[in-house]
Amino acid sequence: MRKRNKLQKFAELSEFPNVYENFDAKRPVLSAPGGTAVDMAGHWAARHFGNDRPITLELACGRGEYTLGLARLYPHRNFIGVDIKGARIWKGANMALQENLTNAAFLRTRIELIERFIGPGEVSEIWITFPDPFLRDSKVNRRLTSPRFLEAYRRLLATGGTVHLKTDSPELYEFTLETLATFPGARILTQNADIYAGPLPLPELALKTFYENMHLSEGKTIKYVGFGLGAALAH
């Protein structure tokens, strides 16, 4: 029953008007609702949202809880949740449709491919909420704040754009601070090793995902780093 339910969700996802998909890294073509190939890089605001408002990405969005929360908080901004897991995205996308959150969309793809589907300077903000910390040294390059991802974010961000990391992992928190200290052009705006120990640095940090509530129930502290990356480097 579980397998059939999952397949049913995948079929529905391909028809959702707020979901775009690419799950074949060897064939980097983006499918619009209904399965039509579409080029969205540089055109999300106009072609999907129908406006010129700022765009925020949530990377590794899972069920889209943060994407939805941000969309509710800021109805005059656009939000795109990115994840490869179709069954998870289905939940967030379905809820957005039920609530008529027209400022929330979802992109199903691997984050390594994000620059194929989002244009240079197209986003003003990136949120990374409770990503897999990939604690093994052999997987350091898969951490979403490793230099190769930071380079991609710098190209995606508009001038003055900000990246936000929210995590329960002390290892990922320290790794991020150490990486930013040596990354050309990076500037830490805010760092906090226990955001609930005092006033929140940002109202958006009050949003809690399923996993964050679970971490808090286990007595873990939630950490935050907000940073800028400067202009893209010339090649």
**Domains of the chain: total:** 1
Active-site hit among 132, 137, 168, 194? 132
Is 235 part of any domain? no
Is 14 part of any domain? yes
Is 234 part of any domain? no
Is 141 part of any domain? yes
Q: Confidence band (pLDDT; 50, 70, 90) for 235?
A: very low
Strand ranges of the sheet holding 19-21, from the earlier edge strand across to the other edge: 37-38, 30-31, 19-21, 104-108, 78-83, 55-59, 123-129, 157-167, 223-228, 187-192
pLDDT of residue 18 exceeding 90: yes
Is 179 part of any domain? yes
Per residue in 42-98, pLDDT (tens digit) is 999 999 999 999 999 999 999 999 999 999 999 999 999 999 988 899 999 999 999
Specify the range with the lowest mean pLDDT, choosing from 30-34, 76-80, 115-119, 128-132.
Answer: 30-34
Is 49 part of any domain? yes
Catalytic site includes residue 83:
no
Count other Cβ atoms within 10 Å, centred on residue 113: 19
Is 140 part of any domain? yes
Cα gap 187→209, rounded to integer Å? 27
Is 47 part of any domain? yes
pLDDT of residue 184 exceeding 70: yes
Residue 136: CATH number of its domain: 3.40.50.150
Look at the pTM and tell me if it is higher than 0.85: yes
Per residue in 87-127, pLDDT (tens digit) is 899 999 999 999 999 999 999 999 999 999 999 999 999 99
For the record, the structure tokens of 58 come out as 């949530």
Average pLDDT of the chain, as a whole number? 93
Cα gap 138→218, rounded to integer Å? 28
User: Can you give the pLDDT at residue 24?
Assistant: 76
Length of the chain: 235
Write out the residue range of the structural domain in which residue 83 sits: 2-228
Q: Is 34 left (phi over 0), alpha (psi -120 to 50) or beta?
A: left
For the record, the structure tokens of 30 come out as 């983006």
